[in-house]
Each structure stands twice: as C-alpha cells, then as structure tokens.
Amino acid sequence: MRNRYILFVLILFALLMDDSIGQKEQLNVFTWAGYVSDDIREGFEKEFGVTVLVDTFASNEDLLTKLMAGATGYDIIMPSDYMVSILIKQNLLEDLNRDNIPNFGNISPLFLGKYFDPENRYSIPYTFGTAGIAYDSEVISPAPESWAVLWDAQYKNRFSMLDDQRETIGAALKLLGYSLNSTDPEEIRAAKEKLIEQKPLVKQYKSEAEELLIAGDVVMAHCWSGDAFRAIETRPTLRYVIPKEGSSQFIDAVCIPKSAPHKVLAEQFINYLLRPEVNAKITAFTKYGTCVPTAKAFLPENLREHKFIYPPKEVLESLEWLRDPGDWTRHYDRAWEEVKAK
C-alpha cells in the first residue's frame, strides 16, 4: 500500500513538471535570425514562469505576408521602421499600454517619435544599424568604396546579396545615384535591370549573410552592420564598409500584433527588454546599437562606441531611412519578382 502511495505521488509530480500538462503560458516571438539570444529568452522564462518560443523571418515582406495571410499565434513581432508604418496602416498592430511598460522611460529620446510611429503608440525600438558590404580584406584589396564592387565580374559566385527586396533594390538605386525611396518608375526599372545584370555573378541571395561569411562560402556580402560585426569576431580578416554612394539605416522595433493571444505577457516582455542589463545583452549578442543609454554601463568598452554601430558623421549623412512607398509598393514588388524569376 505504502509503495503504491509513493508511486502515485511520483506520477503526480512528474505530471506537474510536464509543461504541456502544467499549462505554462507561452510567449510567441517572431523576429529576425540571430536577434533573441537563449540567455534573454531563458531569463524571461525563469522569472515569469512561462515558455518563450522564437520563430524567425528573413525580411519585412515575409513578416507582412504571414500576418496578412492570417498568422495569429504571435505575441511579439520585430518589424523595421517602414514596415511599422505599413502594419499601422493595415491596422495590424495593437496599441501599447505604457502602464505595463514602465521601463519605456529608459529609451533615449533619440530613438523615439520617429516618422513611422510619431508617438510610439505601437512600437518601441529594439536595435539600430545600417546596410553595407562585408568583405575579406585578405582577398579584396584595395578596400571597396562603391556598390560597384558587387557588379565586378572577378567576384563571380563569391558574394551574396541580401534576400530583401527594399534593401537590394535600394543598393542598386544608390549605385545609380537615386533615393532608396524612389517613386519614379524609370528609376525603379533601371535598378531592376541593374540587378538582373548582376544576377549571374551572385552566389546566393541570403539575409543571414553572417553564416556564409563565417563558413568562407563567400568573400563578400551585402549585409547588415551587426551581422558583419558578428562574423568579424570569428573571421578577423573581414571588414565592413558603407559605400560612398550612401546606404540605408534602420531601427528594428518591437510591436504586438492585434491578434496576439498574450498581450499583457507581451508587454511584460517588452518591459523586460528595456531593463538596462537585459538591453545590454541584446547589443552584446546582436552587435547592433542599444536604444537604452544606461545599458552601456553593462557593455564591454568595444561595444560602447564602435564605428560599426556609430558611423562617423560624414557616413551618417549619406544614410537614408527606408519608407513606406505607398501605392508604389507594387512597382518594388514587381521589380523584385522579376529579378528573382530570372
């Protein structure tokens, strides 16, 4: 009898330890690859007694397509600036309840009130960075200065381009001397032709360029600053440059979709991300900039003022924000489809 009682208690204990039966609340995060570390995820799980599931997308357009197609399970999403505008316009974002986000006050005003969400009703900044070219300085010398290096036939099959329609069409627009946000069909057509001309040289279109750079699969990549910075830690001969014609700068934001199943938990997660010591972990992991100035006290010296994160003034002045092209989106969509179909 006593043995049976012990067995019963053991089974009950095992059942209670099983999350699926214990019904832990689950926070579903949809974000970029390499954006939420295990450390950050596990810290929240432990403190709040929940599980955090992280799923990734490769571009803002992928995120939009999933949300428009009715994906309803996500509590947290991380669109970039111009995509925040689009999601607001599509009525896909939830208003943030600041009462649940007291750490909102930790954000630097420099990253608030931006064009895509002037009152930060729907978004808080996660990181900021730029797009440029990472290259292996032992192979590519002298250092490239222009986007034109990505059209140089000697690097055929040795470089990758971002699998991101606005960024990649943007690189071609910049090479041609146009704005990233051109609404001139002739300019968009010229950028498309440029990318079609380049296509036979491109080894791969991939947004997670860091993997290709580290593996040595490419010697050059159109990529984002933090991803280049991360790759350089493993391959110190890599460098990162923002071409002289200019490039994009971005803020990636944290938002809650209207369809989020766990809105309050999502706000608690946002509040947690804005703690200085947690926010420092975001920069330490992603190698993108922190929007919480007090986080810098928790960062190693080399991440506090690094030029990959804080480009010099003349470079900053050459950067543009991507914006919602409104009705012109279809021109970008069509141009990208044509490039990919070739």
Residue keyed to tokens 């994906």: 71
> What 3-state class would DSSP assign to 4?
helix
- Of residues 163 through 182, those in contact with ligand SPD by CB under 6 A are 167
User: What are the CA-CA distances from residue 240 to residues 121, 232, 281, 305, 323 (Å)?
Assistant: 34, 9, 22, 16, 24
- Applying CB under 6 A, which part among 31-39, 85-93, 213-221, 266-274 lies near ligand SPD? 31-39
179: number of CA atoms within 13 Å, CB side?
10
Residue 32 makes contact with ligand SPD by CB under 6 A: yes
| CB of residue 24 to ligand SPD, shortest distance in Å | 28
- Of residues 290 through 319, those in contact with ligand SPD by CB under 6 A are none
Q: Which of 206, 146, 174 is nearest to 320 (CA)?
A: 174
| CB of residue 224 to ligand SPD, shortest distance in Å | 4
Considering just the CA atoms, what is the radius of gyration of the chain in Å? 22
Contacts with ligand SPD: how many residues (CB under 6 A)? 12
Distance CA 35, CA 290 (A): 13
Residue 336 makes contact with ligand SPD by CB under 6 A: no
- Of residues 223 through 252, those in contact with ligand SPD by CB under 6 A are 224, 227, 248, 250, 252
Residue from the set 30, 35, 74, 128 that interacts with ligand SPD by CB under 6 A: 35
Distance CA 67, CA 106 (A): 30
Partners of residue 57 on adjacent β-strands: 32
- Applying CB under 6 A, which part among 27-35, 94-102, 138-146, 233-241 lies near ligand SPD? 27-35
Residue 322 makes contact with ligand SPD by CB under 6 A: yes
Binding residues for ligand SPD (CB under 6 A): 32-35, 80, 167, 224, 227, 248, 250, 252, 322
